[in-house]
């Protein structure tokens, strides 16, 4: 709407200036002001009082314009005006295409889903996803619809990943995450979600690859590191040497900076606790000297179990 208003107004103004008809210019300005301000009113969902006031202002502008007598040019430039109007036609057409492509953004569901402080319910997210998918198909060369579609897909995948007990939700979560990560592969949280969904679907190979991508994209984010530690320890035994080295590095970093939280997380899981202890023993030379010395004692104090050896 904004683009159409601007370019239509420019075309009318060019025609009015070249033909020296002031009665054309004033209504054009009034129409432009009405369209521009009405667009903002539509965007803010306040349609009643502002719309009536803007309509009144537009009518006043039209009346003022009609009060002026036309001032004919002594040398009419109708050919030049026609050329200017024809030159504005492609711009107006492009503006109409943009407005048609962006029309799904006027959906209330999209506004709620993209609002930074509102939590959208699943039905709203699904409606917003459909609208943004329509916008991205209409305007495939613009990045904004793709980025917003990625954001909504992340939100949908997060909701479905937390309810991964149903096969349908697992498949939907995996699909949404794959679509979003294809557009934005640098999201470590999304890779972790995908790994969690794939492990619930018994796809351990895909889960391991997604977990490694999460480690590579967000290696030093402390909250994310805590969230993926259980899955990391679960997948560690079957990983290859390179992936095990990356996983072990994450474990030693967590033990160095947040070992109390780490021990509390793995304490209810004997097998995972055993795996983590073996990693710490194997990679103890990468720990600070003080932590190397105190590793058995701190492990005993934090987990209430003896530190496992490499052979156990």
Domains identified in the chain and CATH numbers: 2-104 (no CATH), 106-303 (1.25.40.10)
Measure CA of the first residue to CA of the last residue in the chain; give whole Å. Answer: 70
Condensed to tens digits (0 to 9), the pLDDT of residues 265-276 reads 888 889 999 999
Question: Which residue carries 């679907």 as its tokens?
Answer: 201
Is this structure's pTM higher than 0.85?
Answer: no
Condensed to tens digits (0 to 9), the pLDDT of residues 9-31 reads 555 555 555 555 555 555 556 66
| Alpha-carbon distances, residue 261 vs 122, 167, 254, 308 (angstroms) | 32, 32, 9, 19
The span from the CA of 212 to the CA of 194, in Å, is 11
DSSP H or E segment with residue 134 = helix 122-138
Q: How confident is the model at residue 45 (pLDDT cuts 50, 70, 90)?
A: very low
Condensed to tens digits (0 to 9), the pLDDT of residues 211-243 reads 999 999 988 788 888 889 999 999 999 999 999
| Alpha-carbon distances, residue 13 vs 26, 27, 66, 69 (angstroms) | 9, 10, 15, 17
The yes-or-no verdict on residue 37 having pLDDT over 70 is: no
Condensed to tens digits (0 to 9), the pLDDT of residues 91-104 reads 667 666 766 776 77
């Amino acid at each position: 709407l904004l683009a159409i208003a601007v370019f239509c107004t420019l075309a009318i103004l060019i025609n009015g200036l070249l033909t020296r008809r002031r009665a054309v210019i004033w209504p054009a300005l009034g129409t432009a002001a009405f369209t521009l301000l009405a667009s903002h009113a539509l965007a803010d969902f306040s349609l009643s009082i502002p719309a009536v006031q803007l309509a009144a202002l537009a009518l006043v502008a039209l009346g003022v314009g009609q009060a002026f007598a036309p001032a004919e040019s002594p040398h009419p430039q109708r050919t030049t005006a026609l050329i200017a109007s024809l030159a504005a036609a492609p711009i107006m057409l492009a503006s109409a295409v943009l407005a048609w492509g962006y029309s799904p953004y006027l959906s209330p569901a999209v506004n709620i889903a993209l609002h930074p402080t509102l939590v959208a319910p699943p039905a709203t997210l699904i409606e917003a996803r459909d609208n943004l998918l329509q916008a991205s198909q209409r305007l495939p060369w613009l990045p904004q619809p793709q980025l917003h579609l990625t954001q909504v897909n992340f939100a949908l995948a997060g909701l479905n990943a937390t309810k991964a007990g149903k096969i349908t939700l697992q498949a939907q979560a995996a699909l949404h995450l794959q679509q979003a990560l294809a557009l934005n592969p640098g999201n470590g949280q999304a890779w972790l979600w995908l790994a969690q969904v794939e492990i619930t679907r018994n796809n351990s190979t895909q889960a391991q690859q997604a977990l490694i991508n999460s480690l590579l994209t967000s290696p030093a984010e402390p909250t994310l590191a805590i969230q993926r530690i259980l899955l990391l320890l679960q997948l560690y035994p079957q990983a290859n040497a390179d992936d095990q080295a990356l996983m072990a590095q994450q474990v030693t970093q967590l033990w160095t900076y947040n070992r109390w939280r780490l021990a509390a997380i793995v304490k209810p899981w004997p097998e995972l606790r055993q795996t983590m202890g073996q990693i710490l023993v194997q990679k103890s030379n990468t720990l600070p000297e003080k932590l190397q010395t105190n590793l058995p004692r701190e492990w005993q104090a934090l987990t209430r179990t003896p530190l496992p050896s490499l052979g156990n």
